[in-house]
A and B are shown apart, each in its own frame.
Chain A
Amino acid sequence: MAELMPQDEFRVALEKAFEGTMAKDASFSRAWATGKLERQHFVHWATNHYHYIGPFGDYLGLMYANTPASARDAKDFLLQNMYEEELSDLRHSDLLIRFAEACGGTREHVQDRRNTMPFTKGLQGWMYHISGTENFVVSSAALIVGLESQVPSIYRTQYPALLDEYGFSEEEAEFFDLHITSDEIHGERGYQIVLTYADTPQLQERCLDIVREAADMRFAYTKALYSTYVEPDLGVWAEEDALVS
């Protein structure tokens, strides 16, 4: 029978669960970071991303409702995260639309879910499912450790490229700079919640499984962005096979 891992060992296992499927290594991310994309590709990205992260407050609200009062620090973190997404300053989804508009897109186009890939609708549905039905420790592992904590590693290569390679202003690209730093902190708090409240071997194992699943979901989604919108223009991304094999 499996034994409960000490927290430091469990953390290393969580970090290893991403290996091979980090979204920063998927074709669309690599093409972005290396200056290969055009503004029309960014409009497609922003539209799909809006429907992926636009309901993040909803996901967090479902997780909040599933978190017991005995885990007050976890509830408070979820509420704070929700507040920052929606109210503390500029609404994060509005920053995303600002970026899309700087690329030539419109608010109406971005907000119309008919303009998204099936992968995006699937990812959104998966997030509603996990946040609404899973133990709060497992949903924290999925959405915060598995998805949100990856964001700084993705945007820390993409944001400089937006300014230096693609010519966007800091204001136009504020969405990315904001998330580089805020998701460092959200990710760390997510790890703390999972490390603290995954207090049985079964919960630890479930958390590791769901982090792998979340990383797979984001990787597949990011890869699909390339194959759907960029591959017709640039061809197959050659780097990808080496990264995932």
Chain B
Amino acid sequence: MPRIYFKTSDRVVTFPEGDDVNVLRVSIRAECGLPWKCASGTCGTDRVLVEDGAENLDPPRRRERERLGELLDHGYRLGCQTYARGDITISWDPDQVGLDDDSSTAERLRAKWLGAADTD
């Protein structure tokens, strides 16, 4: 059976031959620890470095291309946007946050939605 090796958390999940599976969904279901926030390719929190098996992933979707930009060329994918149909090995920074979490946009949103005490 094909397997996904979540290298950072040292977890392996197998799935039936002939299936293709959403990488983030597998991580959530099997508690493999890939960080995530949204589920729509917007935040980029669930980006992973594909260390092996990139040929077993489906082509990047539009949102993934727009969100990752040059990171795609460096072997990164978004777990929520990516389906695997064969063996892959992925890793990530366990402390990583969304790609925009330090931006002024995020700061403005925080100021708008949270009280001053909550933003400290």
Contact surface of A with B, Cβ cutoff 8 Å? 80, 84, 88-89, 152, 170-171, 174, 177-178, 181-189, 191-192
Query: Interface segment, B9-17, B33-41, B86-94?
Result: B33-41
Q: How far is the CA of A88 from the CA of B105 in the complex (A)?
A: 12
- Determine the chain B residues whose CB is within 8 A of the CB of A188 once the complex forms: 25, 28-29
A184 touches B24 (CB 8 A): yes
* 14 pairs from A and B in contact (CB 8 Å cutoff): A80-B37, A80-B38, A88-B40, A88-B42, A89-B42, A171-B62, A177-B61, A178-B41, A181-B40, A181-B41, A182-B38, A182-B39, A185-B24, A185-B28
Closest partner residue, chain B, to A169 (CB atom) = B62
A178 touches B63 (CB 8 A): yes
- Determine the chain A residues whose CB is within 8 A of the CB of B38 once the complex forms: 80, 84, 88, 182
Q: Which 3 pairs of residues, A with B, have the shortest CB-CB distance?
A: A185-B39, A184-B22, A182-B39
**Interface SS of chain A: helix, strand, loop or mixed?**
helix
A177 touches B63 (CB 8 A): yes
- Determine the chain A residues whose CB is within 8 A of the CB of B37 once the complex forms: 80
- Determine the chain A residues whose CB is within 8 A of the CB of B80 once the complex forms: 181-182, 184-185
Q: How far is the CA of A84 from the CA of B37 in the complex (A)?
A: 10
A177 touches B39 (CB 8 A): no
A181 touches B61 (CB 8 A): yes
